[in-house]
Amino acid sequence: MVTQNDDVARETAIETATEAASAPETSDLVSADGSRHYDEEGVRRAVYDFLVAIGEDPQREGLLDTPDRIARAGKELFGGLYKSPQEPLSRQFKTDTDEMVLVRDIELYSVCEHHLMPFHGVAHIAYIPSNGMVVGLSKLARLVEVYARRPQVQERLTKQIADALMTELGAKGCLVVIDCEHLCMSMRGVKKSQARTTTSAVRGIMKNAATRAEAMQLICRG
């Protein structure tokens, strides 16, 4: 049972954590249309309550700053909710070729939306430019970050990256392959730590059997 004293202690602990925070009180994470913002204070409260609910003492020394730490970490882990694919893909430049571009083994960390536990692995992105228009290679990794830093399922993550390459970059075709370990399957539940999940999305002229096979061969080469 939560008593009034517990409430006061909770407020005090949250205030202390807030004062100790180096991050500004007003979150700078706001969606482009202003409809969504990251509520750091709300996250602190929820983590405090969660610790109580699992039978912990959020006021013991080791946990005192935990609500604040998680509120700050959440800005990184879920920061993609406040970004759009236009950010990395708008800085295009022209080359004199429309040959395939492939970036392999792009590390990714995301959070599964079912258990809010990490899944991590690599993304491989191949695309065929249109009229020689390409983006810097790092922008493909930044695109992965936009969609990985959200509560996700691997299938949607894969699809969103492929769709953005077609709509924002105007690629003639693309292939996105993602290979991950899901900690919700490894450290809890069915506990299969060797299991890896591979998802793919193919768009445009990359559906052509020969082109697709060439991309897959390059991806598997590693």
Ligand X SMILES: Nc1nc2c(ncn2[C@@H]2O[C@H](COP(=O)(O)OP(=O)(O)OP(=O)(O)O)[C@@H](O)[C@H]2O)c(=O)[nH]1
Q: Which residues bind ligand X (CB under 6 A)?
A: 112, 114, 153-155, 182, 184-185, 189-190
- Nearest distance from C-beta of residue 210 to ligand X, angstroms: 30
189 interface partner picked from ligand X, Zn ion, none, CB below 5 to 8 A per type: ligand X
For residue 41, the surrounding DSSP H or E stretch is helix 40-53
Closer Cβ to ligand X, 133 or 183, answer by number: 183
Closer Cβ to ligand X, 167 or 198, answer by number: 198
154 interface partner picked from Zn ion, ligand X, none, CB below 5 to 8 A per type: ligand X
Closest by CA position to 162, among listed 179, 145, 151, 175: 175
183 binds Zn ion (CB under 5 A): no
Token output for 15: 């205030």
184 binds Zn ion (CB under 5 A): yes
112 binds Zn ion (CB under 5 A): yes
3-state SS, one letter per residue, for 15-27? HHHHHHCCCCCCC
**Does the annotation flag 184 for ligand binding?**
yes
**Does the annotation flag 120 for ligand binding?**
no
185 interface partner picked from ligand X, Zn ion, none, CB below 5 to 8 A per type: ligand X
Answer yes or no: are the C-beta atoms of 113 and 77 closer than 8 Å.
no
Closest by CA position to 78, among listed 147, 141, 2, 142: 147
156 binds Zn ion (CB under 5 A): no
CA 159 from centroid of its chain's CA atoms: 14
155 interface partner picked from ligand X, Zn ion, none, CB below 5 to 8 A per type: ligand X
How many other C-beta atoms lie within 10 A of the C-beta of residue 12?
11
The CA-based angle 123-136-222, given to 5 degrees, is 35
One-letter amino acid for residue 78 of the chain:
F
Q: Using CB atoms, what's the residue nearest to Zn ion?
A: 184
Among 114, 188, 192, 196, binds Zn ion (CB under 5 A): 114
Answer yes or no: are the C-beta atoms of 157 and 148 closer than 8 Å.
yes
Binding-site residues from annotation for Zn(2+): 112, 115, 184
* Chain positions contacting Zn ion, by CB under 5 A: 112, 114-115, 184
